[in-house]
Amino acid sequence: MIERTFVMIKPDGVGRGLVGECIRRFERRGLKLIGLKMQRLTESKAALHYKEHAGKAFYDALIAFITSGPTVQMVWEGNDAIKQVREMNGATNCLEAAVGTIRGDFGLSHQKNLIHASDGPETAVREIALYFDESELVDYELLCPEWLQ
């Protein structure tokens, strides 16, 4: 099933120069990039993004981290995109992430874990809408889409 998912490269991923590596991996997997932007999140935008964690012990540190530097927001489209991206990212705790995943290959800790991806269809819709207007998402054909079905 073709679906869309939201991905954000966090300040540590941007700061370590891993944006291109992440994009390369998703493209090679056969996913289609349909939205891309870079911004430094405000505290209010970060609070909206992480609203389900409000009140938890790690919330303030999470907001401080995600607003500490630039982030890259992306929308990817493809067959079972949500599951594919989450598997490619690896376990949230980088120390437990499998080699071959983004976090397993490059991650250094649990909190500074390089990348975020939507965990389900409803979350993907909410997160995409938080960062992108529909007019900012580009629909186009890949050169050889028949190889990706």
Q: What is the largest CA-CA distance in the chain?
A: 48
Decide if 116 is catalytic: yes
Query: Rounded to the nearest 5°, which phi and psi values hold at 33?
Result: -80, 120
- For residue 77, what are its two tokens? 């489209």
CB 97 within 8 A of CB 107: yes
Closest CA to 87 of 50, 115, 121: 115
- Catalytic residue selected from 49, 53, 110, 116: 116
CA–CA separation, 97 vs 94, rounded Å?
A: 5
Q: Which residues are catalytic?
A: 116
